[in-house]
Every structure is written in C-alpha cells, then in structure tokens.
C-alpha cells in the first residue's frame, strides 16, 4: 500500500463540490486501513470558485489549468467533474500521465468517443471508473439485494422516472446542459443515472421502443456571470437556441421483462425525484429519492395473497448504512451527497488493492458508460423512426 495518495478535483461546480467533499469524508466510511489521503488541488477555469472550493474542503492549493493537474507529481487520483464534452480530452491526458481517474457521468457525448475512452482505460496501468452514484443509494441497493436473494425474485416489469425541474424557468440561463442534439439533454443528464439504475435492478436493457422527446423551452438567455450547476444568474437580452430535450420517454426490454422510463428537467415542483417501482415474482418494491431513507415493500405470500404495502425505514441492517453514516441508526436519513462519499471510498479501496469482497462495491467501469450511451442512441434512433423498436447495439 502506498504511504500517501494525493487527490485533485477538476471542476468546482455543482458536482465538483460533492467530489471535493467526498474525498475528505471517504476515509470515515467503510472498513480497513488507508494511506494518508492528501487533498492537493481543486482546479476550475473560474479561479475564484476553485480557490473557494479548495479552501472550504481543505485542499492545499487551487489550479485554473487542468494540464497542471496532469503534470502534478503530488497528485495520484483525479475526479473529472466538468461538462460532458470535456471529459474525453482530460481523462485521456490523465490516464496517459498514470493518474487514477474517477470520471463523472455520462462518460462523454458520443459512442465513438466512449469507445476510445474504454480502450484507453483498458490500456492504462491506473484505474479509471465512472460516477454512477445512485447505485450507492441504500434503498436501491437494498431492493437489489431483495431481488438477488430471491425474496422478491425475478423482475417482470419496472416503472422508472427521474423528474427534475431545473429547466422549468424560461430565464434559467444557457449553459452546457442545453447544448447538443436531441438525446443530449434530460436523457443524457439525468437519464444516464436512471438507465443505470434500471439495469442495476433488472439487468441489461436489450432494446428500446416508443422513443420520444419534447423540448418545451426552445431558447435561453445568455448568462452575465459564471453559472454553477442549475443556478440562476443575471441574464442578457441575447438568446441562444436549445437543441436538446427537456423530456424523454421510452419503453425498455430487459432479459426477464419490460418497463417504462421517463425523464424530465421541466417537471415543475420536483427538484430531484428519482423513483422506481419494480414488480417481481414474489412481490414488488418501490423507492423515491424524495424519501431517501425508506423503501416500500409488498411481499406476496405463496404468490397469491399479499401482506400489503410496508414502509421500511432504512437502518444499519441495510447496505451502506452499516459502516457508513456517522449515526448509523434507523431513520437517520441518507442523501445524495452520501453516495459520493461511498463512491470515493470504494475507489480508494480499489486503488490500494483491497479485494472487492472486503470493500464497498466497486465503481462503475467506463464500459458501463459506453453501454449507457448505446442505450441513449437506441432511444434517439427509436424517436427518429416513429417509436419503432431498436436493439441496443454493443
């Protein structure tokens, strides 16, 4: 095991802060010894933001040019948390320099670029992983365990949604999130989390059908200041067209059944509602991120009569809460930020060579990110062909 691991985060925006914080708290969850974790640098082209984020989370310095992170001899592990279109160039340079890389989702913008990134990750001596954090939600992990241990059994159908409303206002400023073709909007942004969640529970999506997109707000004003995440800042009178989707919906087929997926960034009143209802051989279960500390279970008895819906408060018997939260008691609540901490700990365990059996589950591979883009492209192809069924091509 190395004596120390130096950490840097590239991108100090909405998710960059979550990464910066997670590396700090990662050693407080999970089990087993770790080297000294040295918080080295936060890098952002917005220097003030980089400096403020570095100071807030205890990093020694800040940078404004990501090449300085690539060339930094005191940095071993880097989170890449910038706009999707920038992931490939930065990740490729980091891997070539021997850095371990945790890249945000979606892996990149196109399947072709994703293939190149997968090949680079396979060639690299260092570790390259992807940030599908929702796999770390204790409720979703608990439902997956109930499916896999036979309590719920084989999944027959699933209803999954991710409602957000960050784009509801027509004066929400233009940002990288609104640029690109249909399929690079809500579907890539929040939909990549959701397709991964559906596959986490039900297995690989093999085909999609009924693909459709809707863009309600077709132009947006340019910001007059730096935009972080979904923030509203003062805007100019100048507008730019929005090319991508506010809403996407489609059907899916997976090995044992089928389902419906819908995502939106204009779902008024739902700032962050990822939810699933999963129907299985022996019952059903649901999870809604608005109530992240609970799952709802309905277990059939002998496949016929049902016990009725039971709301279960997540506690130390559930994944990630034992050896995880500071107060590991039922009903203490969990949040999206916790997922970043568990993700960072799992990444550190892999870097130091701890076997997966003694670690939190490993982070997603770049190949999972490529697959997510292949699902997205099948939805685009379906939408372009009147909703016709399209195979997800490997």
Ligand X SMILES: NC(=O)c1ccc[n+]([C@@H]2O[C@H](COP(=O)([O-])OP(=O)(O)OC[C@H]3O[C@@H](n4cnc5c(N)ncnc54)[C@H](O)[C@@H]3O)[C@@H](O)[C@H]2O)c1
Which parts of this chain interact with ligand X (CB under 6 A)? 10-16, 43-46, 49, 66, 81-84, 86, 104-105, 131, 133, 189, 228-229
Nearest distance in Å: CB 10, ligand X? 5
| Residue reference for tokens 């004003």 | 221
Rank residues 11 and 138 by Cβ distance to ligand X and give the closer one: 11
Number of neighbours of residue 306 by Cβ within 10 angstroms: 12
Rank residues 84 and 195 by Cβ distance to ligand X and give the closer one: 84
Nearest distance in Å: CB 255, ligand X? 26
Number of neighbours of residue 321 by Cβ within 10 angstroms: 22
Nearest distance in Å: CB 153, ligand X? 30
Per-position DSSP letters for 173-213, written without gaps between them:
PP-GGG-SSTTSSHHHHTHHHHHHHHHHHH----EEEEEEE
Rank residues 21 and 284 by Cβ distance to ligand X and give the closer one: 21
Nearest distance in Å: CB 78, ligand X? 11
Rank residues 176 and 291 by Cβ distance to ligand X and give the closer one: 176
Nearest to ligand X by Cβ — which residue?
13
Rank residues 16 and 30 by Cβ distance to ligand X and give the closer one: 16
DSSP state of 363: P
Q: Do the bridges between strand 61-63 and strand 36-43 make them parallel or antiparallel, or are there none, so unpaired?
A: parallel
CA dihedral of residues 324, 325, 327, 332 (deg, nearest 10):
-130
Beta bridge partners of 353: none
In angstroms, the CA 5 to CA 354 distance is 15
Is the alpha carbon torsion for 265, 268, 273, 274 positive or negative?
A: negative
Nearest distance in Å: CB 9, ligand X? 10
Nearest distance in Å: CB 223, ligand X? 11
Rank residues 63 and 298 by Cβ distance to ligand X and give the closer one: 63
Nearest distance in Å: CB 302, ligand X? 40
Nearest distance in Å: CB 61, ligand X? 14
Is the alpha carbon torsion for 145, 146, 147, 149 positive or negative?
A: positive
Burial per residue of 129-148, b for 16 or more beta-carbon CB atoms within 10 angstroms, e otherwise: bbbbbbbbbbbbbbbbebbe
Rank residues 15 and 141 by Cβ distance to ligand X and give the closer one: 15
Tokens of 287: 């999870």
Rank residues 46 and 296 by Cβ distance to ligand X and give the closer one: 46
Rank residues 267 and 297 by Cβ distance to ligand X and give the closer one: 267
Q: Do the bridges between strand 364-365 and strand 390-391 make them parallel or antiparallel, or are there none, so unpaired?
A: unpaired
Segment holding 274, helix H or strand E: strand 273-280
In angstroms, the CA 64 to CA 50 distance is 7
Tokens of 217: 């707000």
Nearest distance in Å: CB 187, ligand X? 12
Burial per residue of 101-113, b for 16 or more beta-carbon CB atoms within 10 angstroms, e otherwise: bbbbbbbbbbeeb
């Amino acid at each position: 095991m190395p004596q120390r691991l130096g950490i840097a985060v590239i991108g100090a925006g909405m998710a960059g802060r979550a990464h910066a914080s997670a590396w700090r708290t990662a050693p407080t969850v999970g089990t087993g010894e770790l080297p000294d974790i040295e918080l080295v640098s936060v890098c952002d082209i917005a220097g003030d933001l980089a400096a403020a984020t570095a100071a807030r989370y205890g990093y020694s310095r800040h940078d404004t040019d990501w090449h300085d992170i690539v060339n930094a001899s005191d940095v071993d592990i880097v989170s890449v948390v910038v706009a999707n279109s920038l992931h490939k160039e930065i990740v490729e340079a980091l891997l070539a320099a021997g850095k371990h890389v945790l890249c945000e989702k979606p892996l990149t913008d196109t399947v072709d670029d994703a293939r190149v990134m997968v090949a680079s990750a396979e060639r690299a001596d260092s570790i390259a992983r992807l940030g599908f954090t929702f796999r770390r939600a204790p409720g979703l992990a608990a439902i997956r365990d109930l499916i896999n241990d036979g309590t719920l059994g084989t999944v027959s159908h699933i209803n999954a949604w991710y409602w957000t409303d960050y784009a509801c206002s027509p004066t929400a400023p233009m940002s990288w999130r609104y640029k690109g073709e249909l399929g690079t909007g809500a579907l890539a942004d929040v939909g990549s989390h959701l397709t991964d969640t559906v596959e986490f529970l039900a297995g690989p999506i093999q085909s999609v059908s009924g693909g459709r997109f809707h863009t309600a707000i077709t132009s947006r004003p340019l910001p007059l200041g730096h935009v972080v995440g979904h923030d509203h800042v003062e805007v100019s009178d100048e507008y730019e067209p929005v090319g991508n989707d506010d809403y996407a919906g489609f059907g899916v087929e997976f090995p044992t059944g089928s389902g419906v997926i819908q995502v939106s960034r204009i779902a008024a009143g739902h700032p962050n509602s990822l939810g699933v209802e999963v129907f299985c051989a022996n019952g059903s279960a649901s999870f809604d991120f608005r109530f992240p500390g609970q799952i709802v279970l309905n277990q059939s008895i002998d496949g016929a009569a049902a016990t009725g819906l039971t709301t279960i408060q997540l506690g130390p018997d559930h994944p990630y809460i034992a050896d995880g939260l500071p107060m590991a008691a039922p009903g203490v609540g969990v949040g999206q930020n916790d997922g970043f901490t568990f993700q960072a700990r799992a990444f550190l365990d892999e870097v130091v060579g701890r076997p997966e059996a003694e670690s939190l589950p490993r982070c997603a591979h770049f190949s999972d990110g490529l697959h997510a883009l292949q699902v997205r492209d099948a939805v685009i192809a379906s939408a372009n062909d009147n909703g016709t069924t399209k195979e997800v091509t490997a």
